[in-house]
Amino acid sequence: MDRRDFLKITGVGLGGLVIPAFYGHAIAAEELLSRIDGATKKKLADVALNAARAGGATYCDVRIGRYLRQFVVTREDKVQNVVNTESTGIGVRVIAKGAWGFAATNDLSSDAVAKATAQAIAIAKANARLLTAPVQLAPVKGVGEVSWKTPIVKNAMEVPIKDKVDLLLGVNADAIKAGASFVNSTLFLVNEQKYFASTDGSYIDQDVHRIWAPMTVTAIDKDTGKFRSRQGLSSPRGMGFEYLDAKPADKVELPGGAVVYRDSYDMRADAIAAAKQVKEKLAAKSVKPGKYDLVLDPSHTWLTIHESVGHPLELDRVLGYEANYAGTSFATLDKWKEKFQYGSDKVTIFADKTQPGSLGAVGFDDEGVKTQKWDLIKDGKLVNYQVIRDQAHILGLDASQGCCYADSWSSVQFQRMANVSLAPGKAKLSPAEMIKDVENGVYIIGDGSFSIDQQRYNAQFGGQLFYEIKDGKITGQIEDVAYQIRTPEFWNACAAVCDESDYRLGGSFFDGKGQPGQVSAVSHGSATARFNGINVINTARSLG
């Protein structure tokens, strides 16, 4: 399935992030529940490991993957598409003569696996002719035979299609009844069955589940033809179908009237709220450009974190090894050595591949490294990056941080962003209390369009809902808002962060990187945060 096909299937707007290319074939829904048995996977892995040793490789890892996806797509009272896809195969990576080699096959026979291993070794030996220094792998202790599963309550693949369709059509009907002119809603479900083995002595079986329920609600002023839209405020999550069983204890009522949930999602309630809010947007006044104090909801802040912290602190970008899809980084090694003042003392940002419910949560990465949590920015100062096995020695580390990933058995694994999040404030503070201290500001909910330069230094961000704040009170919706930042100036303008009770996850299924391009799923958490004196521009084509 290519990118154009994905757009045809879903019609989903992705806010500027990368639309994936899914390689696989359509299957019947019941096939989403089938599996390759563990004994077969171990046997195939051993074929590759033994062939690698015999061929002169000093290291080998094997990934056997079965990647399953389901899309259920609706618009108003119609089902537009139901698609199930499956892709299965094996990728073999080796080090021979100090260089990497990789090959893959979708033929899961012993002969085909041995042939792919021989091809990987041949590629490594050819690459070795161009080496300036051999690959240095940080050590990893083999863990033997272990398994890890996303801790789901309800496997979304097991839920009948009819139940999913009924949910989405109910969402659409509620939005139309509440005043929407158009609405589309989608369920996008992912199950990655990943088996990893290596010459370090690990055989790791992982079962990863993710869910996303995007929607777009639109209202039209029939007299003027003017229209406004809002995307849903759900965040994709590393959970099962239980994510859509909204829990009252999770409910958060935001200033301005929006309602969100911490670890679940009421899709129907959000559709009704969106229909009312887009009608308000039609009547909202246009923002006056100038300096404002920004109060940013976590449903918005995740994207700013992703672009201005997550990407520039990927070590391969810092070193200039990677520049595709997002450029390199201004946060160079000299800044790390100096403990560069990346933000104010209110800013602690951490990476975490273990956080329950997050998109990036796994037990082990695609190099067999046990995942972990670590600080990137501590009390405003740059203290670390995101590192994999062959980069660790560059920072003087004796171990990888476990953030290596490939989006398919046919893709070679490389350094990918961990879940990167802003730590909540230590003092008790709610969003409503934060707003009371703002004389002239804008409160922003939801992510929108963005742009950022190739060093991750200059950027501009939009959103979904914008509320004017005057003398500590929200006066109503405004429109046409975007803010401009220089990354360190923005994070140094962080004046307050709400406490842990307001901490919520956002994120994306589609973080693009590399060439050939790959996508990964990543979450970013925060509580509502305030940034003082930020430049806001008016994005309208005219103010008339």
Q: What is the pLDDT of residues 31-58, one digit of tens each?
A: 788 889 999 999 999 999 999 999 999 9
Same domain flag for 139 and 38: yes
Identify whether 257 is part of a domain: no
Identify whether 53 is part of a domain: yes
Residue from 158, 168, 102, 98 nearest 134 by CA:
98
Rounded-to-integer distance, Cα 396 and Cα 384, Å: 11
What is the DSSP code string of 400-444? Answer: --S-EE-SSTTS--EE-PPPEEEPPPSS---HHHHHHT-SEEEEE
Q: What is the pTM of this model?
A: 0.94
Identify whether 406 is part of a domain: yes
Strand partners, 497: 529
Number of domains in the chain: 2
Identify whether 247 is part of a domain: no
Same domain flag for 325 and 182: no
Same domain flag for 334 and 479: yes
Identify whether 338 is part of a domain: yes
Mean pLDDT of 170-196: 98
Using only C-alpha atoms, the chain has a radius of gyration, in whole angstroms, of: 24
Same domain flag for 368 and 511: yes
Q: Which range of residues forms the domain containing residue 350?
A: 285-538
Give the Å distances, CA to CA, from 101 to 56, 125, 385, 410, 414: 12, 8, 26, 13, 13
Contact 435, 200 (CB under 8 A): no
Picking from 165, 192, 214, the residue at the C-terminal end of a domain is 214
CATH number at residue 201: 3.30.2290.10
Same domain flag for 205 and 328: no
Identify whether 261 is part of a domain: no
Percent pLDDT > 90 in the chain is 88
Pairing mode of beta strands 473-479, 285-286 = parallel
Same domain flag for 34 and 117: yes
Identify whether 433 is part of a domain: yes
Residue from 380, 437, 407 nearest 511 by CA:
407
At residue 419, what is the residue type? Answer: N
The predicted pLDDT at position 325 comes to 82
Mean pLDDT of 512-526: 94
Same domain flag for 187 and 329: no
Picking from 196, 214, 232, the residue at the C-terminal end of a domain is 214
Identify whether 251 is part of a domain: no
Rounded-to-integer distance, Cα 332 and Cα 373, Å: 22
Q: What is the pLDDT of residues 300-311, one digit of tens each?
A: 999 999 999 999
Same domain flag for 295 and 416: yes
Same domain flag for 202 and 303: no
pLDDT of 340 strictly over 80? yes
Rounded-to-integer distance, Cα 349 and Cα 422, Å: 4
- Supply the angle between the helices 161-177 and 267-283 in degrees, to the nearest 10: 30
Mean pLDDT of 482-501: 98
Same domain flag for 332 and 199: no
CA within 13 Å, CB half, 364: 27
Same domain flag for 299 and 151: no
Sequence-ordered list of residues with C-beta below 8 angstroms from that of 181, at least 6 positions apart, any chain: 218, 219, 220, 227
Picking from 214, 241, 259, the residue at the C-terminal end of a domain is 214
Same domain flag for 206 and 289: no
Q: Which two tokens stand for residue 503?
A: 């901490």
Rounded-to-integer distance, Cα 153 and Cα 162, Å: 20
**Length reported for the chain:** 544
The predicted pLDDT at position 15 comes to 42
